Structure 1
Amino acid sequence: MNWLFKFFPHPDYAAKFSFAVVYALLASVSVRLFYGPGKIYSSGITGIAQILSTLSNRLIGFEVPVSLMLLLLNLPLFFLGWHKIGHKFTFFTGITVVLTSVFMQVIPSEVLSKDPVICAIFGGATMGAGIGYALKNGLSSGGLDFISIAVRKKTGKSIGSISIFFNFLIMIAAGILFGWQSALYSALAIFVCGKVTDAVFTKQKKMQVTIITRFPDEVVHTIQDHIRRGITIIHEAEGAYRHDKQTVLITVVTRYELPLLRQAMRESDPKAFVSIADNVQILGRFYEEQL
């Protein structure tokens, strides 16, 4: 998509637009090829749009397209994103939502399988991959993602786990309105979607790193050249076997930053002992790039 760079004032904008296109395609494929044929309701605002679209046929005699309902439901939530998350993030999320609505209209509904289990698993995985990919690249699929990110900033909970909590209400509504079998298959799709979102959106997962080194100044300088992270230094540590003096460095990085940390250690002290604890919980300030 190099031709996109000609139409945007900054190369990063063209890249984000291409990310938005990828998400919109994945989300539309999930809804049109899996959720629709399997009578499964998606997670987030897309699921609410599906429910309202189905209800509209009962209430007013014709079905309002899911694509139009999705666009209308997202409009008030853009205000939350604009004020609580970030202007650029919200702007490109708006582009993402519009593209998704368009693709949902353009992509034909094909029946690949009517087995609700297959539709739930593959639909949820496709949707989760799209949401995780969008978030990883500084975008959002809109809707409940705005709420989930705002809650994550306050509580530290993962995006996927927060989404599963919110989407539980969608599952209950689907069960009451359209039958509990549909709700249970929708729950499977929502669960798969949440787990795939967490697997793809690795930026939010925090890891504690303990480094034992003889060259603390070089290690600290190199790490901070690669990553914007604070480092705690403990001097005069002693090895139990040789009783030699070393320095312990402690920091916290995201899983997304782990390759940069490895590169920094190779450059500064490849013989250092490095211990990494996965999925740590953080209390206090932890720098995250603005979306």
Structure 2
Amino acid sequence: MDEIEKIARRYRSVAKLSFALIYALCVSVAVNVFWTPGKIYGSGVTGLAQLISTVSQRWLPFTIGVPVLYAVLNLPLLILSWKKIGHDFTIYTIVAVILSTIFMHIMPPVQIKFDPIICAIFGGLFNGVGTGLALKNELSTGGLDIISIVLRKKFGKSVGTINIAFNILVVIGAGCLFGWVQALYTILSIFVNGRVIDSIYTRNQKLQVIIVTSHPDKVIEKIQDEMRRGITIIHDVEGAYQHSSKTMLFTVISQYELPKFRTAMHCSDPYAFVSITEAKLIMGRFYQEHIY
């Protein structure tokens, strides 16, 4: 059993390093191929690094490159992560930041002038894919992720206003430096980036599930084996067609858990009637597994 755990741990490590590499490539393409030529900024620390780099280029006697600023801005956050979150988490985050810095440095900005809308959409798309895949595979990309995790550990919930404040700063910077049309393109890119991340990283999306089954004990046991979810049981419901006695089960799962739920239902009662809808608001206790 110990050997299996070692193999699984090694596999997870290789997977995290692989997705750190994918993220680094995606963010480098976003910055150097689309955002920089289109005079568009990204979100979070990446956008702030671009903003400071542009300010140095215009008003300082020397220019500070985006890769250097990206690494420097992440440095105090990585120190905070090492002290407040954990060493393993920080090591993988350091790898992601280092790879991103290297690829942004060695990948020269393209000289081809794309339409700004193309730059905004594809920049957001590439960065969103990289970030979404990293988060889905339990890997942090640094930056505001670290602040959110630290605050969540301290206060029990993620503070989204930090991300909003950073992105407002980036948009205002884009407007002041390049004009408000470019600020609009920056907003478009940040929006695309966010939507792509949401479509890939589905851990926080909730689904309401209603199950009508003749084998409630098997279904409950299998679901609770696969995931940590409470289930409400309604006994003695009746089907209108055959007037047979059934049991109705009610639970809420995350979109991320949907494949596990499908497997549990297939193994316990493949003929059960299942209705799944999006849950807009959850009040009361809902177990949310934190990655870190």
TM, length-normalised to structure 1 = 0.87
Aligned to 1:175: 175
Aligned to 1:3: none
- Counterpart CA distance in 1 for 2:92 and 2:70 is 16
Give the letter aligned to residue 287 of structure 1: Q
> What is the CA deviation profile of residues 217-270 of structure 1, one whole-angstrom value per residue up to 9, with x for unaligned ones?
111111222223222222233334544322121222111211111111111111
What stretches of structure 2 of length at least 5 have no aligned partner? 1-8
> What is the CA deviation profile of residues 82-117 of structure 1, one whole-angstrom value per residue up to 9, with x for unaligned ones?
466554333211210111001101112223443111
Give the letter aligned to residue 36 of structure 2: G
Aligned to 1:259: 259
Instruction: Assess if the C-alpha contact under 8 Å between 1:164 and 1:191 holds in 2.
Output: no
- Counterpart CA distance in 2 for 1:194 and 1:165 is 15
- Counterpart CA distance in 1 for 2:38 and 2:55 is 17
- Counterpart CA distance in 2 for 1:162 and 1:197 is 17
CA RMSD of aligned residues (A): 2.5
Number of aligned residue pairs? 281
Taking structure 1 as reference, are residues 85 and 242 closer, same or farther at Cα in structure 2, changes over 3 Å only? farther
- Counterpart CA distance in 1 for 2:234 and 2:23 is 45
Instruction: Assess if the C-alpha contact under 8 Å between 1:34 and 1:111 holds in 2.
Output: no
1:34 and 2:38 equivalent? no
Aligned to 2:186: 186
Aligned to 1:196: 196
Give the letter aligned to residue 289 of structure 2: E
**Secondary structure in structure 2 of the residue aligned to 1:203:** coil
Q: Which structure 2 residues correspond to residues 53-64 of structure 1 after superposition, within 5 A?
A: 53-64=53-64
What stretches of structure 1 of length at least 5 have no aligned partner? 1-8
Give the letter aligned to residue 39 of structure 1: K
Aligned to 2:205: 205
Aligned to 1:116: 116
Taking structure 1 as reference, are residues 80 and 207 closer, same or farther at Cα in structure 2, changes over 3 Å only? farther
Give the letter aligned to residue 99 of structure 2: L
> What is the CA deviation profile of residues 182-228 of structure 1, one whole-angstrom value per residue up to 9, with x for unaligned ones?
21111111111111111111122111111111101111111222223
Aligned to 1:90: 90
Give the letter aligned to residue 176 of structure 2: I
**Secondary structure in structure 1 of the residue aligned to 2:71:** helix
Q: Which structure 2 residues correspond to residues 1-291 of structure 1 after superposition, within 5 A?
A: 10-82=10-82, 86-148=86-148, 154=156, 163=163, 166-283=166-283, 284-291=285-292
- Counterpart CA distance in 1 for 2:138 and 2:111 is 33
**Secondary structure in structure 1 of the residue aligned to 2:97:** helix
- Counterpart CA distance in 2 for 1:178 and 1:191 is 19
- Counterpart CA distance in 2 for 1:116 and 1:103 is 23
Instruction: Assess if the C-alpha contact under 8 Å between 1:135 and 1:201 holds in 2.
Output: yes
Instruction: Assess if the C-alpha contact under 8 Å between 1:23 and 1:96 holds in 2.
Output: yes
Give the letter aligned to residue 235 of structure 2: H
- Counterpart CA distance in 1 for 2:164 and 2:122 is 17
Structure 1 stretch displaced more, 177-186 or 124-133: 177-186
Instruction: Assess if the C-alpha contact under 8 Å between 2:228 and 2:287 holds in 1.
Output: no
Quick one: percent identity of the two aligned structures?
A: 51
Q: CA offset at residue 22 of structure 1?
A: 0.3
Taking structure 1 as reference, are residues 156 and 144 closer, same or farther at Cα in structure 2, changes over 3 Å only? closer
TM, length-normalised to structure 2 = 0.87
Taking structure 1 as reference, are residues 147 and 61 closer, same or farther at Cα in structure 2, changes over 3 Å only? same
- Counterpart CA distance in 2 for 1:231 and 1:84 is 35
Give the letter aligned to residue 101 of structure 1: T
- Counterpart CA distance in 2 for 1:83 and 1:229 is 32
**Secondary structure in structure 1 of the residue aligned to 2:110:** coil
Taking structure 1 as reference, are residues 78 and 259 closer, same or farther at Cα in structure 2, changes over 3 Å only? same
Taking structure 1 as reference, are residues 25 and 33 closer, same or farther at Cα in structure 2, changes over 3 Å only? same
- Counterpart CA distance in 1 for 2:251 and 2:103 is 44
Structure 1 stretch displaced more, 276-285 or 103-112: 276-285
Taking structure 1 as reference, are residues 28 and 263 closer, same or farther at Cα in structure 2, changes over 3 Å only? same
Aligned to 1:5: none
